[in-house]
Amino acid sequence: MTIPMLVLMSLLALSTGVILLVAARLVRALRHTVELEQRVARLQEGLNLLTDTTETGFRQVATELERLAAPGGQPVVHQPTPAPAVRPTAARLRAATRRGRSVKEIAAAEQVSEGEVRLRLSLADASASGRTRKMEAARGSLRA
């Protein structure tokens, strides 16, 4: 081999190494970006839930103030009545999604915000996957 050929081979090896190094750094940066996007998405969902809840609260306060300001709007004392036996909210929401209802339809039927419906569904999915993993781990320990 001649010296120019050795120089070219070493330059090729060096450039390949540099390309691999840059590619590894890009992959690491991409992973970091994906993690940040997931965090921002979670924060946005939380902010949407907080906003919807606040708007609902303000709307209810305004409605009550209007009712009290109306002529003859005396505060009414309600007698507590026992709540009827109803399935838990998470179960109703999961059943509605299985039937193909949209988040907007579920929110209207449950009289809650869309953000709360999304949050409850994501929490229900997370707890269901956690239970599945725990059950699989328990079964695995029984098999051993």
Q: Is the model's pLDDT at 134 over the cut of 80?
A: no
Question: Is the CB of residue 118 less than 8 Å from the CB of residue 45?
Answer: yes
Boundaries of domain holding 113? 89-144
> Tokens 């839930």, residue?
49
Measured CA to CA, the distance from residue 86 to residue 126 in angstroms comes to 23
Interatomic CA distance for residues 114 and 93, integer angstroms = 11
Query: Per-residue confidence at 32, pLDDT binned at 50, 70, 90?
Result: very high
The predicted pLDDT at position 144 comes to 47
Highest averaged pLDDT of the listed ranges 30-34, 43-47, 102-106: 30-34
Rounded CA gap, 29 and 35, in Å?
A: 10
Is residue 104 a part of any domain in this protein?
yes
Domain count, the chain: 1
In a domain? residue 114: yes
67 in Cβ contact with 73 (< 8 Å): yes
Q: Give tens-digit pLDDT for 59-75.
A: 899 999 988 888 876 65
Cβ contact 123:89 at 8 Å:
no
- Tell me what pLDDT residue 24 has: 97
Residue 140 has pLDDT above 70, yes or no: no
Kindly state whether residue 126 falls inside one of the protein's structural domains: yes
pLDDT for 76-120, tens place per residue? 555 665 555 556 777 788 888 889 999 899 888 888 888 888 888
